[in-house]
């Protein structure tokens, strides 16, 4: 009697190469397990292992590249909330600041300059302190250099607004003090690229964040002479010191003084524009005006 079932020769290694192990097994019902069967199983296992390894390697490369594209490995965020608020203070702390009359405005906004045909970022330096606590917001250039104000703001009240700043890129630097404990954050703000003549988004990038920093000096009292020359220390959860980026150390020292400045009535970091800057601004405004002269023959 002749069987229609394929014999061993018909199911050789070359014939089975590339076939799924399930198909091979179904064709071998009631047959003995052979070397070809083992090799087919191993091929499938090796393929699955190789695929898993390649997926993990790809994900790792993408994560490293994204990390390296941003300053100090920090993520660039298109986060509207970060443009409005800097430090994330508890509601009770915000209420206490209001009760003591310390008023800081961390929000930044995107504005359009018609004369220069460009978008800029606007902020307001503000804040001050009382004995128990202080909060201050100032602004710097992209890498921490001092920034000239657009105009100072004079007010009868203290611990409030001090100056308006406008620039293509603003770095907001904010500090809060409760006793001898400090919170500190640096964020950089810039317009996104403009597409099809539309209005850009205001991008926000976190440069540095320090929480529960400590400075064991009474800068509102007996150690006031050191104000402007000292900094709080910030530590990781593991107890390692987190260094403030070198370019932002001067503004950090200025803010340490500002959050200890009781009855603050003037700017601590932004400064008056130079005479040359005023001339440049005037020239740009003049060139932007329409030419009303009429030539005569």
Write out pLDDT tens, residues 135-159: 999 999 999 999 999 999 998 889 9
For residues 173-201, average pLDDT:
92
Q: What percent of the chain has pLDDT over 90?
A: 55
What is the pTM (predicted TM-score) of this model?
0.68
DSSP bridge partners of 274: none
Write out pLDDT tens, residues 64-100: 555 444 444 444 445 666 777 778 889 999 999 999 9
Residue with tokens 């020292």: 253
Res. 243: pLDDT tops 80: yes
Asked if residue 161 lies in contact with residue 126, where contact means CB atoms within 8 angstroms, the answer is yes
149: tokens are: 């104000």
- pLDDT bucket at 43, cuts 50 / 70 / 90: confident
Task: State how far the Cα of 258 lies from the Cα of 241, in Å rounded to an integer.
Answer: 23
Task: State how far the Cα of 254 lies from the Cα of 94, in Å rounded to an integer.
Answer: 22
């Amino acid at each position: 009697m002749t069987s229609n079932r394929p014999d061993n020769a018909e199911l050789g290694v070359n014939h089975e190469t590339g076939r799924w192990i399930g198909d091979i097994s179904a064709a071998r019902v009631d047959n003995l397990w052979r070397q070809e069967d083992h090799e087919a199983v191993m091929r499938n296992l090796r393929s699955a292992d190789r695929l898993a390894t390649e997926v993990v390697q790809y994900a790792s490369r993408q994560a490293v590249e994204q990390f390296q594209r941003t300053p100090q490995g920090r993520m660039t965020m298109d986060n509207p909330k970060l443009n409005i608020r800097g430090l994330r203070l508890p509601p009770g702390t915000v209420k206490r600041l209001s009760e003591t009359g310390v008023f800081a405005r961390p929000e930044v906004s995107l504005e359009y300059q018609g004369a220069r045909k460009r978008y800029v970022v606007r902020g307001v330096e503000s804040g001050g302190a009382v004995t128990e606590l202080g909060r201050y917001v100032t602004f710097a250039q992209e890498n921490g250099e001092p920034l000239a104000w657009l105009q100072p703001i004079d007010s009868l009240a203290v611990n409030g607004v001090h100056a308006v700043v406008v620039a293509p890129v603003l770095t907001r630097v904010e500090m809060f003090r409760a006793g001898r404990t400090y919170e500190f954050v640096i964020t950089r703000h810039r317009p996104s690229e403009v597409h099809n003549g539309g209005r850009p988004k205001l991008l926000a990038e976190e440069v540095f964040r320090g929480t529960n920093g400590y400075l064991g000096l009474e800068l509102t009292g007996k150690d006031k002479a050191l104000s402007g020359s000292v900094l709080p220390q910030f530590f990781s959860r593991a107890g390692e010191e987190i260094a403030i980026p070198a370019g932002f150390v001067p503004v950090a020292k200025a803010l340490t003084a500002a959050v200890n400045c009781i009855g603050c009535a003037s700017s601590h970091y932004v400064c008056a524009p130079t005479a040359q800057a005023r001339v440049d601004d005037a020239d740009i405004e003049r060139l932007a005006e329409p030419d009303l002269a009429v030539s005569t023959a």
